[in-house]
Amino acid sequence: MNLYEINAELERFEFEIDEETGEVLNADALDNLQMEFNEKVDNIACYIKNLDALAAARKQEAKNLMELAGQTEKKRDRLKAYLQSILNGNKFESERCKISYRSSTQTVVDKDTFTKWAEENAPDLLEVVTTVKYNLSDIKKAIESGVAVEGARLTKNVNMSIK
């Protein structure tokens, strides 16, 4: 997906990227591409815009595919329930499929009642999980209002915008 024509030399350039940091490892080779400075900057900016468009399209496609997968799974579940209701526990076999049944046991818990009981009688049946989330906007407001917040600070960033 190319929204912009970019210099073929830049388009062929093999970027070596550190997967963890995103750093361009061969920036020197990029610096050495024989192009006029303004052309190089323009081409790199347009290349970034192409990559942004490609990433957005791929994210949307992944979202669409996940929705389709969910719809397919729901249809499967409805058809499976239908088969189960018409077979009423009877086995079925043909050249193309075989339907049989097996027993299983499922644990069903009324969370409030069980939790109260387990806390008093069997705490080892409970696993307490705590998740900490930081409310960054409230932390920022507190710092900006003059509150000394230990372990948090505001930093100024310069964010490039390519349009």
Rounded average pLDDT over 1-11: 65
Which residue, 163, 120, 155, 121, is CA-closest to 136? Answer: 155
Lowest mean pLDDT among 16-20, 44-48, 129-133, 154-158: 16-20
Distances (CA, A) of 67 to 55, 61, 79, 158, 159: 18, 10, 18, 37, 33
pLDDT above 60 (res 134)? yes
1: pLDDT strictly greater than 60: no
Average pLDDT, the chain: 88
Q: Is this structure's pTM higher than 0.95?
A: no
7 within 8 A of 43, measured Cβ to Cβ: yes
Query: Which of the four pLDDT bands, split at 50, 70 and 90, describes residue 69?
Result: very high
